[in-house]
Structure 1
């Protein structure tokens, strides 16, 4: 569909009918080998672009005439430039998926430059009345360095186009030097377009397009580029707001996560947190260890959504849970009270939570969960299982919700793992498979008493996630263990906040 929006000529491809099968039915190149019945499972689809609509035609693939030798392998003349017919909707569709300034710039380079035959691109963003390079492609190395941070009083076309709000087109490099004597040139031949990036009347930056050969910018091309510059400006403005909000959310979440977990001489705990790396994927995952009477409360939770609101709601819930835990309230009352608080706050979000109150002397934990993933327990002999922990609905939905309490025993040398869905959920995969993978990884690791300490085990369980550069969700992990017989008491380790991705 995007190709049809960009091209003045019909776009053709083959599409398989649902349920199609057969040895030759899966050939997307329209192969005619095999019986006709197999070909009948494929349709030849043609999309014809128009000024305001797209028209589609469908024909059985086996009814198409055989291609001639010239069509199959002969030279095809170069298609005319699509610049006069470039549709702003094509760029708008691509820009809708970009959430950072770099992603917006990459879309411009991928979508806009080829359509107009451009070879060079530079995008500058305005900050404190100075222009800073956000993206460049095709210019000689170091050529743009002297222009970094130029003020709005500089006599340069990239500055003038922004201060006046008018695009500047130069059909040749001679015309550019005539208008701006002494300006540094990156090439002897070519043409340039300087476009103002203005969104909602607010200057955002400027965009420079470079072409290898002199060219006349037609009235239609000038109008199209000016309109497209407006789309780019709005996308960059949105990206700047997005990135500012992401920085605020990261700072808020970092401040709200525990710097040090409550310690007990008979229990070792450690936590890990990894933020998401896709756009604004700063979520509401949290973990905590709180003194509760003569025991410890182990908590992990996940607020729905991402951004500042999710992080702020997480902070409110964490504070509420800590207050209930410090009062040594039973797990079901902790979750019920937190549930009522979230409903009263009415942020439009819900949250999952798992809460365990551990008696360090006996190893007995009384646990309850609200829509959260079940804990994992590795026994001293290495057997690892998903804890059968009946639960109630997520927090913030039903004011009458009840949260049953179950006893879990943490023997000396055993390890209890609480985690959020970001650690086990993968796009297109069943979450049960992810939980099973984490269970297997926990089972295969050596017990802390015989091998690496608990922090090293936490690093091992999050190693794959830390190496993943494109994490769609944030991750929280909390591990707890009671030292085995013969090993001295171990202090709890400092909590690990946002981990390097």
Structure 2
């Protein structure tokens, strides 16, 4: 390994440790139960979940990626630098309906940007119990701010000028949250120095490993050999990985020689590391409730097992082992998805998310695996568990019974209770905030029996847990995906049915209940529908589809074609090879290609493989040899709008549920796109009107330089009533700026009338007060139901004398030739269009050569929650700074000054008001030759 590669590895390890420590400390500081850190990625505008503390990663796969322009709390915190406080689900739904639709559970959350100086690296997030009022969590937020500041400083130091060093492009590291309840001395600690191969361990560590004093491990290998022989290599591998700066993200379940379950965790010490290796610290802990708890739960007639917040089973009583068909030794230390068949269904995912995030218990049904009622799943020689409790059964049970599963959430563990559906009444209603699973029909047991028998032939698929892809299955390094999600690009999201589901009538997973409720599949249309309501233009609609649809179904290609004059034109594409779609541009509706036929027939087309697509359309150019495609017609109110093409880089069998959801989403997209096209047409017409009403060129004078800028608001039609003008008035110039009340086409039309009137009066070189009075009476006669502000200045270029009349307009700014800027104290009258008898006094000011006069509308200086004087002062400071270049004889033109003064507003995505700016400067005298 080269020195550069070794340094990069150390930087990555240090980054992981910093983020993991910050997330766990933030959970404690904010009184939460889970948290994490989003970090910027190598893709501009995309955040990735880098660390997730207290939740199983695959269960939250849809939230691994976050575009910064989405209306989500994480995106707002990063993009705007805001500290977002959501105390409860009601406030979350009010402010972030998309986020709430995906996680409709009772919890609160806090989000703090992680930044240092001008650089923003990511967002620190904590989910916590719900509270009625935000004031109850402000202290926790303030503590999170301190942690975020410390993390930002550490990341800045780690980056050392290289932004790529502080970026995250992989899957999240899942770490254990800080324990709310202590383990009462049942934690042993040890450390290992790889340089000398010496181990230091406390007495509790020795006791938990079941060793005598003489057997206390002194080396790394001796520590590994303290557990059963089959697990010793895993312990040794974990120690060596931590010493190399790559500590594992999950605790390692091991068995002592006496058979007791223990969890081992390793982490790296970064204080003066030895050359080539770090010092390793770790703990050994007993995950169970202790002998008294074991004895109490062992006697219960119901199956009881406990799961930690990362999804690992840490305790099971004999009845639970019997109902799940596995010996207790095989249950403890394995993931929940390995132990309970059928949990890989999207509806079960929602139930488990509800249990992890909200305090209410969750109740649903699973199918009992086949077995002989003795705690074995058909494996010969498994034997009967001792002390099987009151519920033990001696006879072989019939396979496929329904089991009621109740999950009770605790701060550190989930307690799960299993009981046969015929032995106790299952709750008919799931608590508020969790999706509802319908009750089983009479023939469900028979159907479930078939799926259970089919599942008996082989184990459920698993996917490597993030960060531990090389660990053998069955160890702490693997985590069965909730939907058996295949790894790699294009993998199906945990929100969707796995590709192996096959046809619409195939079971969703091993021993899955085939009538799972539709609530999970409704989430994606709801989230997409909410996002589409916020999209206005066709481009925004296309961006929403890309951000929501591709991650939801694991696709990596998207193309949207829109219909114009019976031809299809590409509106948006991502993921296709460069130039591949060019031959299809402008294709007519008579072409025999799937993108056209799906629109002309109105039927979606699904191809499970590229071979299917090639067989259906011989001679069609294909962008890949392997993959699958979905062609969706975009039809709104019976009218064709276009076609949406989804591409996947692996073959997949589109299930009936997926086809239904994709077809419904296509309808939502079509209606949104139709609305956006109508808006684009109307907005283009309105912008054309706006441009026609504004001056194409300003009057010129050899002694005066002028520059004007107009920026429309970003809300509504993006047209408004602000205007500016420069008119030749006698031997001087008239400088005019105004602002009609409101926005939209009506305001623009009124502005056009006023601009024409003021220009006509100015061309007659009438005094400023007469111009204002005449314009005021004209506006009242027009009776548009609107008023307007205006500032009119008659400038004499020869002397620099300026005579000013003002009608409710902000005061001008004057930058003197020496560089200082002042607000011109000019008297004024009421706004135009209110009082026919209004008077407009005239004030005077003088422009020396090199001085710059700035006229502006309130949109440039108003800020939400701040007095307008603050914005005026800020504009004055900016004018003092940037106006110097224009004041020099050979300096930059005034247009560059205007550009710099409006640069911030121009790059602001949300401008509630339009903006006008007019600058005027008496040209400096040319330098005399010496």
Shorter chain as normaliser: what TM range? Answer: 0.7 to 0.9
Contact 1:303 1:351 in 2 (8 A): yes
Contact 2:686 2:719 in 1 (8 A): yes
Structure-1 residue corresponding to 2:685:
248
The answer on 1:67 being equivalent to 2:163 is no
Structure-1 residue corresponding to 2:550:
113
Q: Which moved more, 1:8-17 or 1:175-184?
A: 8-17
Q: Summarize the Cα distance change of 1:217–1:334 in structure 2 as closer, same or farther, 3 Å threshold.
A: farther
Structure-1 residue corresponding to 2:706:
270
Alignment of structure 1 residues 424-443 onto 2, 5 Å = 424-426=861-863, 430-443=867-880
Q: Summarize the Cα distance change of 1:204–1:446 in structure 2 as closer, same or farther, 3 Å threshold.
A: same
Distance of 1:481 and 1:173 partners within structure 2:
67
Superposed CA offset, 1:299-328 (max 9, x none): 012334555444333222210111222334
| Aligned-partner SS, 2:685 | helix
Which residue of 136, 141, 149 corresponds with 2:573? 136
Distance of 1:449 and 1:270 partners within structure 2:
13
The answer on 1:94 being equivalent to 2:550 is no
Contact 1:121 1:209 in 2 (8 A): yes
Superposed CA offset, 1:199-232 (max 9, x none): 23332111112233321330x4333322221221
Contact 2:740 2:789 in 1 (8 A): yes
| Aligned-partner SS, 2:653 | coil
Q: Summarize the Cα distance change of 1:483–1:138 in structure 2 as closer, same or farther, 3 Å threshold.
A: closer
Q: Summarize the Cα distance change of 1:201–1:26 in structure 2 as closer, same or farther, 3 Å threshold.
A: farther
Superposed CA offset, 1:375-418 (max 9, x none): 0112344332111234344434x244735324122143233211
Distance of 2:106 and 2:626 partners within structure 1:
34
The answer on 1:354 being equivalent to 2:794 is no
Which residue of 872, 884, 899 corresponds with 1:446? 884
The answer on 1:82 being equivalent to 2:495 is yes
Structure-1 residue corresponding to 2:102:
6
| Aligned-partner SS, 1:104 | helix
Which residue of 215, 237, 240 corresponds with 2:653? 215
Superposed CA offset, 1:144-197 (max 9, x none): 222122111100111111122222233333433333223223333433221111
Contact 2:709 2:898 in 1 (8 A): no
Contact 1:5 1:49 in 2 (8 A): no
Structure-2 residue corresponding to 1:202:
639
TM-score by length of 1: 0.78
Q: Summarize the Cα distance change of 1:174–1:381 in structure 2 as closer, same or farther, 3 Å threshold.
A: closer
Superposition deviation, residue 422 in structure 1 = 4.1
Q: Summarize the Cα distance change of 1:90–1:363 in structure 2 as closer, same or farther, 3 Å threshold.
A: same
The answer on 1:477 being equivalent to 2:917 is yes
TM-score by length of 2: 0.44
Distance of 1:170 and 1:146 partners within structure 2:
21
CA RMSD of aligned residues (A): 3.8
Which residue of 296, 313, 321 corresponds with 2:733? 296
Distance of 1:283 and 1:58 partners within structure 2:
50
Superposed CA offset, 1:278-305 (max 9, x none): 4753433321122335543210123345
Structure-2 residue corresponding to 1:498:
none
Superposition deviation, residue 476 in structure 1 = 2.8
Q: Which moved more, 1:181-190 or 1:11-20?
A: 11-20
Q: Which runs of 5+ in 1 are unaligned?
A: 34-47, 51-55, 489-501
Superposition deviation, residue 117 in structure 1 = 3.1
Q: Which runs of 4+ in 1 moved over 6 A?
A: 8-12, 28-33, 56-59, 485-488
Q: Summarize the Cα distance change of 1:484–1:154 in structure 2 as closer, same or farther, 3 Å threshold.
A: closer
Alignment of structure 1 residues 320-399 onto 2, 5 Å = 320-347=757-784, 349-360=786-797, 363-396=800-833, 398-399=834-835
Contact 2:179 2:412 in 1 (8 A): no
Structure-2 residue corresponding to 1:404:
840
Structure-2 residue corresponding to 1:19:
135
Structure-1 residue corresponding to 2:665:
228
Q: Which moved more, 1:277-286 or 1:297-306?
A: 277-286
Q: Summarize the Cα distance change of 1:337–1:387 in structure 2 as closer, same or farther, 3 Å threshold.
A: same
Superposition deviation, residue 118 in structure 1 = 2.7
Contact 1:258 1:288 in 2 (8 A): yes
Q: Which moved more, 1:151-160 or 1:440-449?
A: 440-449
Q: Which moved more, 1:306-315 or 1:125-134?
A: 306-315
Contact 2:734 2:794 in 1 (8 A): yes
Contact 2:687 2:718 in 1 (8 A): no
Distance of 1:470 and 1:7 partners within structure 2:
30
Distance of 2:869 and 2:178 partners within structure 1:
40
Structure-1 residue corresponding to 2:212:
none
Contact 1:380 1:447 in 2 (8 A): no
Superposition deviation, residue 461 in structure 1 = 4.1
Superposed CA offset, 1:59-113 (max 9, x none): 9xxxx8442599xx97654344435613433212111222222221111121122
Superposition deviation, residue 420 in structure 1 = 2.5
The structure with the largest alpha-carbon Rg is 2
Structure-2 residue corresponding to 1:497:
none
| Aligned-partner SS, 1:108 | helix
Distance of 1:339 and 1:286 partners within structure 2:
16
Contact 1:4 1:49 in 2 (8 A): no
The answer on 1:315 being equivalent to 2:718 is no
Distance of 2:578 and 2:885 partners within structure 1:
53
Superposition deviation, residue 483 in structure 1 = 4.8
Alignment of structure 1 residues 478-497 onto 2, 5 Å = 478-483=918-923
